[in-house]
Chains A and B, each alone.
Chain A
Amino acid sequence: MSAVPADAPASSSSGAHGSTAPGMRGHAWGPLRREWIKLLFQRRSYLIWAGMLAIPFLVSLALKLAGSGPHENGGGGGPAFLDRVLGNGMYVPLASLSALLPFLLPMAASMVAGYMVAGEAELGTLRIILLRPVKRGSMLLSKWVVAMLYLAVGFLLVLVGGVVFGGLFFGLHPMVTLSGTTLSVVHGLGLTGLVFLYGLAAMSCMVSLALLFSVLTDSSLTALIGAVIFYIVVQIVIAFSYFAWLRPWVFPNYFLEYVSFFRDPIYWTPILKGLASFGAWSFGLTLVAYLLFRRKDVLS
């Protein structure tokens, strides 16, 4: 090690001179940028995105190969919209979303958000970043926003991938709504975009849930498993008619309400109920995560 430069210690501003490091300018966006960069420096981030992009391709390919079979409405027994895909690529993004939403997307959301705090604790970097003058609340909020941003990119990949692969395999044609009316390609794409935003709002609950588990533990795997198990248990519980009274109060109940966008006119009541539920759960879970993180003893 060489000698300490004369201006190194004692001066509190010496580090601020000269050209500022690229990509770190701006206080408001700084925390988000840092979290985003950290996310981009994880291999699993690309793996999840690749998986999400693969779904519309695989859905298109599988349906194209099975193209000679029956494809009347409701005839295939697959996820919603799947049977309509044959002959119209406009349904591929929705078919992909309906394939992802029940399990893979909650899993991806839990994986990303579960790593946010617990993963850093596991790695040992949590204690390094908490020695910097950044409030724990804003740090946690940045992590939440970046997890959502990450999922938004994933949703965009599914949407764009669905339109591209659907267009290539089946062509893009006017869509038929659940009410039997026809929508133009542009109108259909607009509604598909709203469906994806609804799906993203639904995933905000999973992000908040996984973030809460991430604060509670120092193991990202435990955080992931905790969030996914919670989600699965809720799904199982509300499947029983005995617990039907519980359904309006739990967020997974509203995951598939996006189909209401494809009624003519749009049936807003279940959509708004779903959004209210997602908002309440996200806020509540994130608030609990914040209260715990604020007082958390970092021993990792």
Chain B
Amino acid sequence: MTQAVAEAQTQSESTGRPEQQNCSGRPVVLSTHALTKQFGTLLAVDALDMQVCRGDVFGFLGPNGAGKTTVIRLVLGLIHPTSGHAEVCGHRVPGQLQGALRHVAGFVDDPTFYPLMSARRNLRLLGSMSGPVSEERIDEVLEIAGLRERSESRVGGFSHGMKQRLGIAQALLHSPELIVLDEPTSGLDPRGMKDVRELIRELGASGTTVFLSSHLLHEVEQVCTRAVILNRGRIVVQGPVSELRPQNDAVKVLTDDQSRAAATLRAQFGAAGVIEDDGFLVVQAGEETVPEMVRRLVADGLAVRAVVPAPEQGLEDFFLELTGADDAKPATESRRRGIARVLGRRR
């Protein structure tokens, strides 16, 4: 964990709430103030305070069920808060919802459209709800979304990815100040994902504020400038994306004799720094130590077959670490024992 993350956690622990981010003189486009939503006994969003500054490509990260979509629904006035409020471009939500919605566009969950209408007619219909929209602008956003050639096709025949693209197109229709995208790459193929991420980056570069909800850490890392991580309705970490990701210095080593290699490496990095994993030796060491490591292995007469970066820590593990969810470990252990029992019976 980086120092910034650790600091954010310390602040969170000391104040009970993550500290407000600083917009450094830039206008605040979106903010929430002790925003809370309770569904029956379930506290979905717990006194959420955050700020999105103009020009941010803001990552809103969290595992499934963290409350991301609920927050978006609250901010866009689709649901009413139990307490607290949001402010969008200076308009309080709820209360001044119509004013807020003039400055924001996007989609929540999967974007959905009228299936018997063409893409163009859908855009015409939805766009007209926010004011006049020209055919030229419809052509433009269809072009941006890569749907120009399918503009007259019925949306009912569109794939999930095409609907996602159309969702982005309708969000761009009136060039809003703030674009809210709820997992826009979900269901897209790798090419589609790349295109959408590039588009988000371009939007950010051109000054539009983008609020990107995602559960993919690497996606947020690729396109966002700042981010918060939400868990169980609370912000657990916030800050610049560059400081958000856990550092991973481990490398995986494969030689012709792993036992001897393990002894050599443990002499260099200590017993705790070298573990065996699926035939590889995982060494907790930075890239700068790799040449020396290889030199020693070769000097010991070992043939080095591969030295590769170890897989980065997954978001799920990162969350477990951040939220201190140690209670998940016994469950995992118990599950492992269960699987072992089943396999044992089969044998």
Contacts and interface: CB of A to CB of B under 8 A. Distances in A.
Interface of A: 1-25, 30, 34, 37-38, 41-43, 123-125, 127-135, 295, 297-299
Nearest to A23: B124
B129 A4 contact: no
Given A2-B144, A8-B144, A298 B73 contact: yes
Contacts, number: 166
Interface in B176-209: 176-177, 195-196, 198-199, 202-203, 206-208
Question: What 8 pairs across the A-B complex have the smallest Cβ distances?
Answer: A124-B112, A18-B134, A9-B208, A24-B128, A132-B129, A18-B136, A297-B79, A133-B101
B102 A4 contact: no
Given A10-B175, A124-B112, A24 B206 contact: no
A1 B101 contact: no
Contacts of B135: 18-21
Nearest to A4: B202
B221 interface: no
Given A16-B133, A24-B124, A130-B78, A9 B117 contact: no
Which secondary structure dominates where chain A touches chain B?
loop
Contact of B175 (A8, A41, A133): A8
Interface in B74-109: 76-80, 97-99, 101-109
A7 B77 CA distance: 28
Contacts of B128: 21, 24, 30, 34
7 contacts: A15-B173, A20-B133, A21-B124, A128-B113, A130-B77, A134-B129, A297-B78
Contacts of A7: 175
Contact of A127 (B104, B108, B140, B198): B108
Nearest to B124: A21
B107 A24 contact: no
Contacts of A4: 144, 172, 199, 202-203, 206
Contacts of A134: 98, 129
A128 B126 contact: yes
**Which of A1, A24, A37, A124 is packed against the most chain B CB atoms within 10 Å?**
A1
A37 B117 CA distance: 10
A281 to B, nearest CB: 28
